[in-house]
Structure 1
């Protein structure tokens, strides 16, 4: 696990250098490439199904660099359907979203759905790491989103991130407790690390060294599906 995290830290360090050498970014704008961002920002109608899941996150949810059928959302829906669940998983992943950007658009996305989702899978924070934002800001934004969903009586499952070692022990200690602490405080589901099983395995990562390829998505979905099924039962 440590070796994988070290590899993860190296990849993020390289990407941070690329970002630092590029044009100045607009505050809270994308920290990763924006390929397909226009399509990802558009809210598409959610097909009728017994159960509606909203996958609300960044490029890891949006399916960056993948064919439309190979991303996390369609793969998760297929896994749940194959398991006998009448489920529609609605993709609300937007490449480059920080937790602040996600907080700003959450109400719009929820209000645009045909009905209240039965579960929201919430996965943001990776771009906060890439930009070196304060963990306290990430925590505040994540908690605000969890509160919004609680106020609407919508069940939540968090998919967490882990700070790479290159950001320092103090930063990691502050960041890595965010998701477990929120899950405990609000009694909600938690999948501790979205990229578990993929980090450090080059055969499961796109050439950018950050995002999972189609095989990587398969690994993620295989591991996360039982947690989603548990969250749906609660």
Structure 2
């Protein structure tokens, strides 16, 4: 299987509009980050999208991707769901509703923000979504088991996802001990890391992530949901332990 990072930036992306921070002015493509999202390709070629933010259309075009077979949503914040309307071309091409997997709270938010996708008499150009509530491990395409990870993001519970021996977690500020058991000794641990210093109420920062890596002992860790305050990609890479790396837009990993 293959995971491609479609975006690795925080909710504002990098560069931030109007910012003159040195990282926002960087010419290094690895310092330019769209909003966080990923695409998993199964062994049979099925495409599973993780989160669908405001950069979804751009991400698909830049990566020459033409198909999504299912969508997993971690939570309802705009940088993770507001691009759902841009699934329309794929819905029209397949002549079928897009299947979306999320928790009940998120499903209700999607219905509120995209009511035109659920009414009986839809406008001909409107999308159509089939929402499936995640409450335990589930299987997609009779091929891949997906284990949800219950994560705390400030004061709400959101989802991470485990595929085989890879876990994908974004927007975490705490992980309970019970859920950590699902994350021990992974081959790949993908985790949010907002910045180096100044604790944040809803996101891990670098010292917290490194402590978590030491505890969970994954073989390799990739950091996502990165703000410009973390620093230049190339400089931060040199400061990290050998088994911890900054993800960047377009990076692919096999697992």
Specify if TM > 0.5: no
Q: Determine which structure has more spread, i.e. the larger CA radius of gyration.
A: 2
Higher helix share: 1
Report the TM range for the smaller structure's normalisation: 0.3 to 0.5
Q: TM-score, normalised by structure 1?
A: 0.36
